[in-house]
Structure 1
Amino acid sequence: MINKIKLVVALLLVAAGIAGYYAIADQALVLRILVVCAGIVAAVVLTWTTPLGKEGLGFIQDSVAEAKRVVWPSRKEAIQTTVAVFVLVIVMAIFLAIVDAGFLKMVQWLMGRSA
């Protein structure tokens, strides 16, 4: 139950930061943004003390580790793949235009409306 209360308080901290942004509308924009950031940071710190927050932190750590293991394509491979995609898109567009024109002619023939 205490963890649910912590999550609710974390949401209230974010809401308080946003409310503070509007409450000090006559102050400098930097100060207003810092109030929102302070609310978000306080909420994140409080959330990390819950099991849900620890799972989220573990997920982020696993995601960063997985991103480091990714083998990114070289510039040449990326360009070749991009060109292949563009060529396929153009070929499919031409094919679909021909099919569409064929269906148009067929519907006009079936309806007895010759163009």
Structure 2
Amino acid sequence: MASTDVETVGTGADKAKLAVAVLLVLAGFVAFYLLSAQAGWVQWLALLVGALAGAGVFLVSEPGRRFIGFGRDSWREVQKVVWPTRREAIQMTAYVFAFVFVMALFLWLTDKLLGWVLYDLILGWR
């Protein structure tokens, strides 16, 4: 059975908030370059104020609230992870190194064997 839930793309107010957020960040960049005759900290302050104002407007829009919700859900999932102990991590790392060494040795021997068969036995180039 088909789902009847429809997710809307966004309202006009949210689109306006996103546009304002982008404009505020751009205004921060423009102010940074327009204030080139001022002290460096003034330029950086203008850039920081523009970026923070844009981020603030973004976070009060619907996509911003969804982004915050996603961050919270992600953090909850990370807290559920059972991390390996130091001993388990060392053992798994040793297994990986051993496997890589064995595969490297196998590929090197295969290369040498095929080179010997093709060049020495079949073609007689050496």
TM range (shorter): 0.7 to 0.9
Between the aligned residues of both structures, percent identity stands at 37
Provide closer, same or farther for how the CA distance between residues 46 and 102 of structure 1 changes in structure 2, counting only shifts above 3 A: same
Query: Is the counterpart of residue 59 in structure 1 residue 70 in structure 2?
Result: yes
2:85 pairs with 1:74? yes
Ranges in structure 2 where 5+ consecutive residues have no aligned partner: 1-11
- Matched to 2:60, the amino acid is T
- Secondary structure, in 3 states, of the residue corresponding to 1:114? coil
Report the residue type matching 1:17 in the other structure: G
Cα pair distance change 1:76/1:34, threshold 3 Å: farther
1:12 matched residue in structure 2: 23
Q: Please, what TM-score do these two structures have when normalized by structure 2?
A: 0.74
Q: Residues 113 and 41 (structure 1 numbering): CA distance in 2 closer, same or farther, change over 3 Å?
A: farther
Residue matched to 2:14: 3
Q: 1:104 to 1:20 in 2, by over 3 A?
A: farther
* TM-score (ref. length: structure 1): 0.80
Greater shift, 14-23 or 45-54, is seen at 14-23
**1:60–1:109 Cα change, 3 Å:** same
Match in the other structure for 1:45: 56
Q: Structure 1: state its 5+ residue gaps.
A: none
Bigger fraction of residues in helix: 1
Q: CA RMSD in A?
A: 2.3
C-alpha distance 30-82 of structure 1, shift in aligned 2 (>3 A)? farther
